[in-house]
Amino acid sequence: MDLRNFSWINAPGRSEVSGDRIVIYTDPHTDYWQNTYYDFRHDNAHAFVLEAEGDFTFEARAGFEYGSLFDQCGLLLYQDHGNWAKASLEYADEQRGWLGSVVTNLGYSDWATSDVDGGIREMIYRLSRRGSDFLFECSRDGYAYQQMRIFHMHKPIGKARFGVYACSPGASTFRAEFSGLRLGPCVWEAHE
């Protein structure tokens, strides 16, 4: 992919973009979250995104070296501060991580997770679009993908803005490296 077609949402203080690789060094106290349960709003995570119309599948490999609670990186679909979705592996502790997703519609976020081995330091993610419906998937090897979530964006969406993101909600910082970015026709089969 031509990374010159991408742009930053909340550019980090330090990053590297070269060839087919994006490296983000997160700034502390960065996150995406709106309202639900925690009663706070954060809209300052680092994201490197592009725009596309119609149905598609976008894929990226995320490698990370985090070690502080809630550090995270993965894929992001971003309409505006109150309408977006993210999928990532989030750091809990050395034994456990949270593989999950957040969907924010009309200013309210949710959070769905499953526990995974805390030693995982790489994950491949896919985001597929069919109209206003989306699918997040993940894979450890790039061949076998598991469904993370099917979701709907309530605010009408024409041109979609999506890409990779990383953030450190606490006082930490970490290095996230993204590679293998691919955009192509939707591989999510239509439901008959």
Q: Is the pLDDT of residue 63 over 90?
A: yes
Q: What is the pLDDT of residue 36?
A: 85
Q: What is the pLDDT of residue 132?
A: 95
Q: What is the pLDDT of residue 164?
A: 98
Q: Is the pLDDT of residue 15 over 90?
A: yes
The CATH T-level fold of domain 3-184 is Jelly Rolls (2.60.120)
Q: For 154-181, write each residue's pLDDT tens digit.
A: 999 999 999 999 999 999 999 999 999 9
Q: What is the pLDDT of residue 114?
A: 95
Q: Is the pLDDT of residue 117 over 80?
A: yes
Q: For 34-59, write each residue's pLDDT tens digit.
A: 998 777 789 999 999 999 999 999 99
Give the pLDDT mean for 7-31. 97
Choose among 105, 76, 72: nearest CA to 6: 76
User: Any idea where the domains of the chain sit in the sequence?
Assistant: 3-184
Q: Is the pLDDT of residue 67 over 80?
A: no
Q: Is the pLDDT of residue 83 over 90?
A: yes
Amino acid (one-letter) located at 167: C
Q: Please spell the DSSP secondary structure of the chain, one letter per residue.
A: --GGG-EEES--SEEEEETTEEEEEPPBS--EEESTTT--EEE--EEEEEEE-SSEEEEEEEEE---STT-EEEEEEEEETTEEEEEEEEE--SSEEEEEEEEEETTEE--EEEEEETT--EEEEEEEEETTEEEEEEESSSSS-EEEEEEE-SS--SSEEEEEEEEBSSS---EEEEEEEEEES--SPPP-
* Mean pLDDT for all residues in the chain: 95
